Amino acid sequence: MSYTHIMLPIDLEHADRMGKAIETALALAVQFGAKLTLVGVTSELPGVSAHNPTEFKEKLSALAQRLGEGLPQSAESRTYVAHDPSVQIDGILLDAIKDVGADLVVMASHIPNVLNAIWPSHGGKMASHADVSVFVVR
* pTM score, whole prediction: 0.89
pLDDT surpassing 60 at residue 48: yes
Residue type, 50: A
Q: 6-37 pLDDT, tens per residue?
A: 999 999 998 888 999 999 999 999 999 999 99
10 Å Cβ neighbour count for 20? 13
Model confidence pLDDT, tens digit, residues 71-119 = 999 899 999 999 998 889 999 999 999 999 999 999 988 654 444 444 4
N-terminal to C-terminal alpha carbon distance within the chain:
23
